[in-house]
Amino acid sequence: VASFVVICLIWLSADNLSVFISFLIVLPVIYGNLLEGIKSEDASMSELAGVFNVPPLKKLLYIHLPQLKPFIMSSFKTALGMAWKAGVAAEIIGTPDGSIGQQLYYSKVCLDTDDLLCWTVIIVIISVVFEKLVMLAVRALYSRLERG
């Protein structure tokens, strides 16, 4: 992550760096999980949809997405944790104004262990809450799809 951050600092401002680095870090995780999910799909379901001329959108919503659910849930859960770690690491190196990473960096430089511990706890809490909210949204989306 650190080498990506330093390289990307050449092209991006520190303000946009953490989002881009988070994207770079989670993209292979999501891609790999979805690729495995697509490989493990039941081909007979797609064949059946072809026989009955199911439109592509309905095929996606009612055949592909339900089969990909475990892979999507797993990739999101893993990727969300990695995104926070990579984003904060990018903020520590890039130190954009007003960021949590900047506060962590200053706490480290000043050897202020109280602030360092406090910011670490805040990061963990925000990360857990964010993960729970996103996973809740994904589950709600799937339950809505299952109801029709």
User: What digits encode the pLDDT tens for the residues 54-110?
Assistant: 999 999 988 999 999 999 999 988 998 899 889 999 999 888 988 999 999 999 899
Cβ-based neighbour number of residue 121 at 10 Å:
10
Q: Considering the entire predicted model, what is its pTM? A: 0.78
The two three-digit tokens of residue 14, written as one number: 């520190």
